Amino acid sequence: MSAEQRPPVEMATPFDPSVAILAPGHTYASITDKISALVLTRRTPRGWFLGFTIAFLLLMLLLFTAAYLLATGVGIWGVTVPVGWGFDIINFVWWIGIGHAGTLISAILLLLRQRWRTSINRFAEAMTLFAVACAGLYPLLHMGRPWLFYWLLPYPNTMGTWPQPRSPLVWDVFAITTYATVSFLFWFIGLIPDLATLRDRARRRFWRILYGFLAMGWRGSARHWARYEMAYLLLAGLATPLVVSVHTVVSFDFAVSIIPGWHATIFPPYFVAGAIYSGFAMVMTLAIPLRKFYELEDFITLKHLDNMAKVMLATGLIVGYGYMMEAFMAWYSGNPYERYMLLNRLRGPYAPIYWALLVCNVGVLQALWSARVRRNVKALFAIALVVNVGMWLERFVIVVTSLHRDFLPSAWGMYTPTVFDWTMFLGSIGLFLTLMFLFIRLLPVISIFEMRALLPEVAEAKRPADAPASS
Amino acid sequence: MAERVDIYGLLAEFDAPEKVLEAARRAYAEGYRRMDAYTPFPVEGLAEALGFQRTRLPMLVLLGGLFGGALGYALLYYAEVIDYPLIVGGKPFHSWPAFIPIVFETTIFFAALSAVLGMLALNGLPMPYHPVFNVPRFALASRDRFFLLIEARDPHFDRELTRRFLEELGADGVWEVEP
């Protein structure tokens, strides 16, 4: 596998974007100039303003909904007995899952020495951070009294109580807090050398001071690099089990309960795979427009898209296996409630959503077996969008179908999201996109120093006799 | 005034990572110790060529992780067994399997924090001022140029001889660094 991922040694000289991870002809200077220009010198494209405006309006929708929610209460949402976990948990799990691809790319692929991660890790990490921010909103707002959120944290208090650590919901608090912190640290540490580059290249005094402040006086000393690389490697080693633990804990929110359809040992691996699956779909959704509008095809090549499509295919198949096992266990367990849960999914009032999720997550995915599809940017973009939707539907099915038919028919009910559920959801997409647009405008979307480091390796592999390219 | 050693050091500029690596090796062989190299990306072996032994960072991270784990466990034990014992689901007060997820997370939290803060602390960052930034060309150290600095504090340092030595190493330019 690793041999295949290496930059091709016996490649024909013309640039073949489907196998190379960096277009030829680049130098340290050209890489630096091209990526830093996106932030420093290039005119902000009109499309950016358009996109930012839309995203910002959606963000305002979120603020409006949140304000109304705080003034009125969670009754403005569709959640009620028996479905107490509606859009909040669906969206929470969806966003957290999306975040996982960023950590996978930055940490796990680093440990596996997958060099193609270099040009996508920075914005994937940013995506993680922003997705976690969106995810965190939901449990906070679902509390009803978010200003008392600190009751979740263990601290000696006048009420004389402590959070109950035998509950997965308390594990969640620790897992999400740690995940958000570590994701931020990882992202910021990766940014420091690039912030120094921006500091050295910014023309206006304000930006020099701002980037200089954030770069903390980084000067690229060899000793600093040695410790830096060690810290980065250790962080990757720590983030790898962390990312697995986070979605495992999220799945425990369900699996530790005794609700039919949730109480399953398959949940942790199935959730982790689903998280990576949806996350890669989101990376693809962001990467494809980004490389087009910012002309980054040299750096984010078809090889990257191809590899990401393969990861999606692999994780999507694991998710498909999860669906299969759920159905199998429902039958094999002989538990009438489990069986009923499955029949209800297949034929009940929410059946169209279940079938739609199977089509999105398992059906459409099969197109990625074809190398032609994996190299077709438009098809990939469409598939990524479908998977994003499919994974959201999956969480809807998991949350709602298990809850709405309680053990006793007298406690049955239906869940219908209200307009405020939808504005909240759209609003969180607005928050995510707003942060993403600001990030693209203000910080380098591709790790500049890692691309520079990639250059001699790629050049060496291509023409072993020559000295590596220099300016 | 100019005769006195009132500079921070001499900075030599190179255009390729191998050149600065070679220069660092030769300077070390020459007996220079108080020196540093500046590169736009990590160059393998460069820190070692400058006499950098190994970093204590992994030990710090291990200690941070152990501290975090111990803290997490102590917190849960105190809360659940000593301060607020509450029977939940018929489980014992000290139901350690239920503590594992939180202890794991606090371990990672403190280990990651020590990795980042430890790296910054050992590197002496944030550092608002450093003399090398007085050389205008140094701005390229974050772009495509590679620099070797020999500090004036080094016992072997001699303004003229060291300059000549650096020039012989194939430097594209040698600059005096204002303190």
Structure tokens belonging to residue A272: 């982790």
Measured CA to CA, the distance from residue A302 to residue A75 in angstroms comes to 48
B105 vs A222: CB contact, 8 Å cut-off?
A: no
| Residue B51 three-state SS | coil
Q: Chain A closest CA to B178's CA: distance in Å?
A: 16
B105 vs A216: CB contact, 8 Å cut-off?
A: no
Q: Is A41 on the interface with B (CB under 8 A)?
A: no
> What percent of the residues of chain B are helix, what percent strand, and what percent coil, each to the nearest 5?
50, 10, 35
Using the 8-state DSSP alphabet, how is residue A80 labeled?
Answer: B
Q: Is A114 left (phi over 0), alpha (psi -120 to 50) or beta?
A: beta
- Domain at A318, CATH number: 1.20.1630.10
What residues of chain A lie within 8 A of the CB of B63, using their CB?
Answer: none
Say which CATH topology domain B9-52+129-177 has: Alpha-Beta Plaits (3.30.70)
CB A116 within 8 A of CB A160: no
Q: Please count the other Cβ atoms lying within 10 Å of the Cβ belonging to residue A263.
A: 18
Domain assignment present for A20? no
Domain assignment present for A9? no
Q: Which residues of chain A have pLDDT under 70?
A: 1-19, 459-471
Residue ranges making up the domain that contains A283: 27-152+163-461
Q: Is A245 on the interface with B (CB under 8 A)?
A: yes
pLDDT in tens, chain B (179 residues): 445 558 888 888 888 888 888 888 888 888 888 888 999 888 888 888 888 888 889 999 999 999 999 999 999 999 989 998 988 888 899 989 999 999 999 999 999 999 999 999 998 888 888 888 888 888 888 888 899 888 888 888 888 888 888 888 888 888 888 88
Residue B4's pLDDT is 54
The alpha carbon of residue A259 and the mean position of all alpha carbons in its chain are separated, in whole angstroms, by 28
Q: In this complex, which of B24, B41, B65 lies closest to A452 when CB atoms are compared?
A: B41
A226 vs B42: CB contact, 8 Å cut-off?
A: yes
Measured CA to CA, the distance from residue A73 to residue A208 in angstroms comes to 46
Angle of helix A168-201 versus helix B96-122 axis, rounded to 10: 10
Q: Chain B closest CA to A55's CA: distance in Å?
A: 32
Q: Specify the number of domains making up chain A.
A: 1
Domain assignment present for A240? yes
B140 vs A201: CB contact, 8 Å cut-off?
A: no
Structure tokens belonging to residue A316: 């999507």
Long-range contacts of A329-333 (CB under 8 A, 24+ apart): A329/A264, A329/A266, A330/A261
Sheet holding B9-14, edge to edge: B35-38, B146-151, B9-14, B173-177
Q: Chain A closest CA to B162's CA: distance in Å?
A: 20
| Domain residue ranges of chain B, discontinuous segments joined by + | 9-52+129-177, 57-122
Domain assignment present for A110? yes
Q: Is B35 on the interface with A (CB under 8 A)?
A: no
Which residues lie below 8 Å from residue A447, measured CB to CB, with a gap of 6+? A118, A119, A121, A122, A190, A194
Single pTM value for the model: 0.89
Among the listed residues A301, B16, A350, the one whose alpha carbon sits nearest the alpha carbon of residue B24: B16
